[in-house]
Chain A
Amino acid sequence: MELADRAVGFLLSVISLSIFTYYTFWVIILPFVDTDHFIHKYFLPQEYAILIPIFAGVVLLSFLCLFIGFVMLKSKKKKKAQ
């Protein structure tokens, strides 16, 4: 059980550090690199640096609203049954 917690914690840390590194490189460092440098082929166009987080935020917000609505409906049904 302890090993599973450590593994999941390690995975989360690695994911967060990877996202941070990639996004920092993409947004902060890449504008100062020449456009014909080979590193540009590993990154999407700059517009996606805005679109992807906004899309992810909208999806997360929608999921949260759906979940809250579902829980509220379920609790209302339970109260009616009682």
Chain B
Amino acid sequence: MKHIVKIITLLVTICALWMGLLQMSFAPSSHTWLLPIYFTVLLGCYGLLMVGVGLMRLPTCPREAALLQQFCMNLEEASSSYASSVVSALAGHFGS
């Protein structure tokens, strides 16, 4: 809820600033809607560009991936051997 209030406050501030600029004739009134929409599209393009660049530079760490896979295999082997020893011990205990 706090974040929504922050975002709404920011939007209202930007709208008030833009209306103030229009009233004081610092911004051309012929571009009342065009310039805010242009800057919004610019922001969207910037976000998309950052996502694309981030994806291109994403590190995959192949050595660490191989080490992790080896670790998981070792863990699987160790747990299966532990489980079989527990089962055999229980069978021996209840069998006798």
Contact = CB atoms under 8 A, between A and B. Distances in A.
Interface string B43-65: 00110110111111110100000
Interface in A20-48: 20, 23-24, 27-28, 46
A30 to B, nearest CB: 12
B42 interface: yes
A53 B37 contact: yes
Contacts of B54: 9
A50 B48 contact: no
Q: Name the residue among B34, B46, B52 with the largest chain A CB count within 10 angstroms.
A: B52
Nearest to A16: B48
Q: How large is the interface on A (under 10, 10 to 19, 20 to 34, 35 or more residues)?
A: 20 to 34
Q: How large is the interface on B (under 10, 10 to 19, 20 to 34, 35 or more residues)?
A: 20 to 34
A12 interface: yes
A17 B41 CA distance: 12
Interface of B: 33-34, 37-38, 40-42, 45-46, 48-49, 51-58, 60
10 cross-chain pairs, A with B, having the tightest CB-CB distances, nearest first: A9-B55, A12-B52, A9-B56, A13-B52, A16-B48, A20-B45, A16-B49, A16-B45, A9-B52, A2-B60
